[in-house]
Structure 1
Amino acid sequence: MKMVKTEQNSLKTLKEAAAMRVGDVVQIKRCEPMPEVVGKNAEIVALQIQEFDEYAVYPVWVKMLSGERKGKIYGFQRAELGVPTEAAPEKITGMTLVEQVEEILRGVTNIEDITGIESISHNLGGEERAAKTGDLVKIKKCVPMPEVVGENAEVVELQTQDFERYTAYPVWVKMLSGERKGKIYGFQGDEVEMLPKLHEAQTATGNLEDQTRAVKTKVVEQLEEILRDATTVEELAEIERAINEAKGKLLTEPALGFWEGKTPCWEMFRCPEAVKTECPAFLYRTLPCWQIEGTYSKLHDYGTRGDGTEICQNCRVYKRWGQGERVEIKLHGKGFDTTLEKPKIT
């Protein structure tokens, strides 16, 4: 019976291979490392019939057609893919909204316009989200930096997925008080608490309506009209992604250096723009992140200097691109320690 079952499984695999062709559109059914792609459609760009080991070769390679990973290519096992279902009307509407936003954002050249658009998008969503960017929180606990406990901070980015304890934090905040005022750090959800009084947040961060009114240019008015039609959390997430991408393009980026032709750490960990544009791993990319002191991942585990490297041995970025080379810090003094000179974008 076991031999018959094995033969049946082999036959099924061959039939699946024959059924899938380059150019076909499939839907992602499951993906533990990247749960945000589940339910998204993708186009098959390559097929590999052989399977050597699960970490090295995937039989189906697809190009994402939607979501924040649109345009990226990833490998999947056949069981992780399915036939795409018809898009629901609200999904079509959501994509149309995002496309309209992206079209307008292509013509934006002023960072103040982006700030005004962000202020509008932050006010959307009503009670659908327990926390959103712009909210005020208090730090409840932080073992690496005990001095920030009890300080207030503003939420600047939310990440709903949690990959590994060392690589992703769901809440990113900008410190509003204390010796680390103005710095941005990532926290787990149970390390921060929402402040109950809305007027406290308005006092600390400024009235968003006044900020928006001050920069309400023609492009901001256009976006404001479109954003009123956004009704779901998914639509808001897609729109905020488009806004963040437009904002990132207005910031000068140095050459890719080491990461040329590779997926860099800030993409693998989906670092927020506010973090990415300050992190030494992004600014000094001629070296890989595991050779740089003071990256956000190292800071969380190794205090104000972030010079420990044990974390790198367990990090999926090093496992993917490290090629087993010895891990050592080669760039010092460019991290987020407040006693060090802040790196500049060149």
Structure 2
Amino acid sequence: MDKKVVLITGAAGFLGSHLCDRFISEGFKVIGMDNLITGNLKNIEHLFKLKDFEFYHHDVSNFVHVSGQLDYILHFASPASPIDYLKIPIQTLKVGSLGTHNLLGLAKAKNARMLIASTSEVYGDPLVHPQTEEYYGNVNPIGPRGVYDEAKRFQEAMTMAYHTYHGVETRIVRIFNTYGPRMRLNDGRVLPAFIGQALRGEDLTVFGEGAQTRSFCYVDDLVEGIYRLLFSDYPYPVNIGNPDEITIKEFAEEIIKLTGTDQKITYKPLPKDDPMQRQPNIDKAREILNWEPKVNRAEGLKITYDYFKTLTDEELYSKEHNTFDEYIKK
């Protein structure tokens, strides 16, 4: 029997690369696609030698063509950190709108099932806590985070329209804060920012008073939830995240203890529209997918810290990632 074929967009990114690994290990033929605007080929170079892995250097905001059989599409192409989507706001909006439209058209043509990566950011700065899938959110569409939040909200709407009008099999995962190896150290997200500062001997920067909360899910747990959702029969949004909530100040203190450094915490003004609370209600994931996170934060942080300790000084102090042109010249 022919192997099932899955297209994973954003394949060279943090989550995309882990999904490529998972589907290869499950016996799929994997087509990875990435324009490398924020992705890094180093994350997937170990797969290039495999006969069941192909890589396309392509921007899904343009027309997407894949020849032959295609059974599943996982759309994970998008800038996902504030530094990225504030620097490239139009590309962020385009990959969530035009990119999603192109891939849904491909799914329809190939009779493929498509899962989109949405985000807890669709809830904005929530007035309901913890956040359930039925909560519509509190989002500022013209604020600095609006380019990402609204791209994802539109992505969900377009996906449901293709499901209801064209009968395309679709799945929607709302991802809460995730961490693990292959995160970009300087992408602006709180965990790699703290670890990077600790490794460089800098004080840890907390915005506001550090009273805002986050809930961190280890990447292997997240990938397991996504895998189960793809093969479920549920077409509506499902929260995947770890409900173990912690304040940013407490989290900074955990990182200082983990790294064994003597850095202090410095405070800066809270960015506009920064969510004050973020905690998933995962009742649906438990009920529908029989899923809940298994890796506790102490265990996951140690693995992640050990990964970051292997980075070279150049990587530790660099604010950029390698481009496709730089990679093929190596």
Length-normalised TM-score, structure 2: 0.27
Task: Specify which structure has the bigger relative contact order, considering alpha-carbon pairs within 8 angstroms and separated by 6 or more residues.
Answer: 2
TM-score (norm. length: structure 1):
0.26
Greater C-alpha Rg: 1
